Structure 1
């Protein structure tokens, strides 16, 4: 199970998404030059008297991490494993949509500049690793089909 390369990819996806929960994905720069970090857990803007908790982002990250971890154990059903990886890629695409929604909403309400951080790249890296896992799973499926034809 863990000796397969797709299991390593999926384990890396789980680790990336779990670590992204606590990393800042950007920061708001207000008119006074103060930086306020924006994480999936919260963003506090004391100068504007606002405190947001982007629950949608947090829920999508947790769901993506759980789906990728559960997909590792579906090694006997490769077709379902491919579907779960595809579903996880859709979850991560939804994460970026929710991020844009929250970022634009907060940015417009306080008229501050937004600076991107490295934490925003981690779900994209996770999507690439999901794609590599799908390719490896398909390769395994083709090997099994070829072995069945020989018998």
Structure 2
């Protein structure tokens, strides 16, 4: 059933990971050059993998357990991206001019929030099905 609330949450997480990475910059270099996720191949691959996991999670709506596992993997992947951004921002301290961090570094946090909401709704559906099965 694609009309469940976790589908909306997963679509929002996919939209954040797939669309907003091209709108918001990750950071600016000391010569005021904006760096987007498309400029760093490993970051782009991480975000695109997050989109893929969200879309596969949406399409596996009949198997809620695998949908839940895909959501957890996606959360872990977004934590890895967030860790990379924190590492990158803390490693930029050796320069003489202070570089500006962009709002794009916060996109994994927003994505994690929506993925956690989706997993909560998936768990709620699974508990509801288990309670109905107990009554039979």
TM-score over 0.5 for the pair:
yes
Q: Is the 8 A contact 1:11 1:69 kept in 2?
A: yes
1:138 to 2:107 alignment: no
| 1:88 shift after superposition | 0.2
Rounded Cα–Cα distance in structure 2 between residues aligned with 1:2 and 1:111: 52
Q: Who is 2:17 aligned against? A: 17
Q: 2:34 is paired with a residue of what secondary structure? A: strand
Structure 2: which 5+ runs fail to align? none
CA distances 1:32-86 after superposition (whole Å, capped 9, x unpaired): xx422121122xxxxxxxxxxx221111000001101110011111111111101
TM-score, normalisation: structure 2: 0.88
| Mean CA deviation greater in 78-87 or 15-24 | 15-24
- Map of 1:36-115 to 2, 5 A cutoff? 36-42=33-39, 54-104=40-90, 107=92, 111-115=96-100
Rounded Cα–Cα distance in structure 2 between residues aligned with 1:41 and 1:118: 15
More helix by share: 2
Query: Aligned in 2, Cα 1:111/1:104: closer, same or farther, shift over 3 Å?
Result: farther
Q: CA RMSD in A?
A: 1.8
Structure 1: which 5+ runs fail to align? 43-53
CA distances 1:99-127 after superposition (whole Å, capped 9, x unpaired): 2344455x367544222222222221110
More strand by share: 1
Higher Cα radius of gyration: 1
Rounded Cα–Cα distance in structure 1 between residues aligned with 2:105 and 2:84: 12
TM-score, normalisation: structure 1: 0.80
